[in-house]
Structure 1
């Protein structure tokens, strides 16, 4: 699918809460796989974490942060292995973020709503231009 094309798809929403100690990325990917969601993404997320391992914008630097931190934003796709970005704030209100690698551990709560476009299928395919596995969207077979 070209980026200029759009696809109409019904939306189903899945509200949920992750409890203290849960691994956010692992839990989200497991939920999507267990429920066979073909085109899942994050609609909203609020909560807090004690730890997060993130890749920075240079695509090479990986940093692990120990909190607690507030989740200011969590966005991304979940189907096809996931691609998540998070913004966190510290006790002074300083905000930082990056590409979620692992170890995003819930502190008090993570209240999340996942959306799924039931007429679509998302996968990740290597893009020769970037060298990365990038999002590919297809019409779900009838």
Structure 2
């Protein structure tokens, strides 16, 4: 495992930037361990809902965690507004960094993650494979 601290600048799409980390480092698997920072827009998909909820305001990132694979990320985030109200859910594309996002990523060079159809759940779920070197 290789630990990679990442700092994202204002106007970065948080999810897209994290999905790009694997390609930039030629690794097929990773995890976001934690993050702090702020967003001006967050796209949250709540459990069981088909479409994300968009919040456009100054938001603090409280937590961010999930898996990174070459064919997509599965990330959960919690954010707080100026009154301290907390919301969370699946992080969707279009979530925009306001001032900074400081993210700790674990790269897993001995593994390859993919998202594959799962007959039991009806969703694309994580498939883990060991890479032989």
Question: Structure 2 length as normaliser, TM-score?
Answer: 0.93
Please report how far the alpha carbon of residue 61 of structure 1 lies from its aligned counterpart in structure 2 after TM superposition. 4.1
Structure 1: distance between partners of 2:49 and 2:131: 32
Matching residue of 1:138: 129
Unaligned runs of 5+ residues in structure 1 are 1-10
Which of 80, 103, 106 in structure 2 is aligned with 1:115?
106
Which residue in 1 is equivalent to 2:74? 83
Mapped to 1, the partners of 2:22 and 2:34 lie a distance apart of 16
> Deviation digits for residues 99-119 of structure 1, max 9, x if unmatched?
112111011110011101222
| 1:62 CA displacement | 2.0
Consecutive unaligned residues of structure 2, counting only runs of 5 or more, are none
Indicate which of 24, 33, 52 corresponds to 2:23. Answer: 33
For residues 59-74 of structure 1, the aligned pairs below 5 Å read 59-74=49-64
Which of these two proteins has the greater Rg computed from alpha carbons? 1
126, 131, 141: which one aligns with 2:117: 126
SS of the residue 2:53 aligns to: strand
RMSD: 1.1
Deviating 4+ runs (over 3 angstroms): none
Match of 1:4 in 2: none
TM-score, scaled relative to structure 1: 0.88
